Chain A
């Protein structure tokens, strides 16, 4: 899932300081799972903003609404009848959702309330870890299912580097060395040949905005 982190309150307050009527838009998918931008977090942010603005004698009218997914047109529709009443939308979705919302309502400022952080996994309640940088050229098949782009601090394809430290990465003793793990796993699987081969320079495909159209689906018409 996509993991995001809420922006510091001060920053959010600053973003909306000019506006008197703000719609706080939550998203019920990834950011809700990582406890950042779902219904409950919308509620908290709304309450905070309400109190803070009252404290400053500059009250703001707030409404919260959370939809299933902000990255999906089908659900965004729910906002159509709502947005006319507001002078800004504060979105708690990931960067993709925020942009899709902004694209749908180009006449209204759409502002981010979260920092989109990574694609990751759920290690426990409230604990998420990054696992993928969406490089467009997955090499997990050769690296024992451990991503060298994400998990190695230098994104090496032919690691480990000289800094690997008793199984840890040179950047910190709390960060396991990806290449140490890759070696260990492939050794157990008897597949070390996967990394004895030289891996040539990567063709980076994530340097331009990417589009995917599945076979049999023509490009959706812009609305």
Chain B
């Protein structure tokens, strides 16, 4: 299935969103990404039981950290879908891109 999703999204594969560490997310913004999001399995269907719950918590935490730093607006997000939902994946990518466009570029870029 060939999917049409915004080319500005750079994908990093991890075995489970539970592997997504606070530092990965923070580092992305530190290095200049405008936003960062994790796409995990549907809640309740994590192979490791709670990997995606942990990821959601961490994403929320990263947003609080970013707020403290002065980078507001929720540039980190979590999305859930089941495997084989290619179109949903593309839709989320679009949604995230629009969300970030509205916020404008990462303010650190000009620093």
Interface residues of A (CB under 8 A from B): 8-10, 40, 43-44, 47-48, 50-52, 54-57, 59
| 0/1 string, B99-111, CB within 8 A of A gives 1 | 0000000011001
- B111 in contact with A52 (CB, 8 Å): no
The CA of A48 and the CA of B108, in the complex, are separated in Å by 12
- A52 in contact with B70 (CB, 8 Å): yes
Q: Which B residues are in CB contact (< 8 Å) with A44?
A: 22-23, 26, 65
Closest to B29 in A: A51
Secondary structure dominating the interface of A: helix
- B111 in contact with A9 (CB, 8 Å): no
Q: Does B11 contact A (CB under 8 A)?
A: no
Known contacts A9-B65, A44-B65, A48-B65: A55-B26 contact under CB 8 Å = no
- B70 in contact with A47 (CB, 8 Å): no
Closest to A43 in B: B23
A15 shortest CB reach to chain B, Å:
14
Q: Which A residues are in CB contact (< 8 Å) with B85?
A: none
- B26 in contact with A9 (CB, 8 Å): no
**Is the interface on chain B under 10, 10 to 19, 20 to 34, or 35 or more residues?**
10 to 19
CB proximity to A under 8 Å, residues B21-42: 21-23, 26-27, 29-30
The CA of A40 and the CA of B22, in the complex, are separated in Å by 9
The CA of A210 and the CA of B68, in the complex, are separated in Å by 39
Most buried by B among A9, A47, A50: A47
- A9 in contact with B68 (CB, 8 Å): yes
Known contacts A9-B65, A44-B22: A50-B111 contact under CB 8 Å = no
Q: Does B3 contact A (CB under 8 A)?
A: no
Most buried by A among B27, B68, B71, B107: B68
- A54 in contact with B111 (CB, 8 Å): yes
B25 shortest CB reach to chain A, Å:
10
Q: Does B1 contact A (CB under 8 A)?
A: no
B16 shortest CB reach to chain A, Å:
16
Known contacts A40-B23, A44-B22, A44-B23: A55-B107 contact under CB 8 Å = yes
Closest to A45 in B: B65
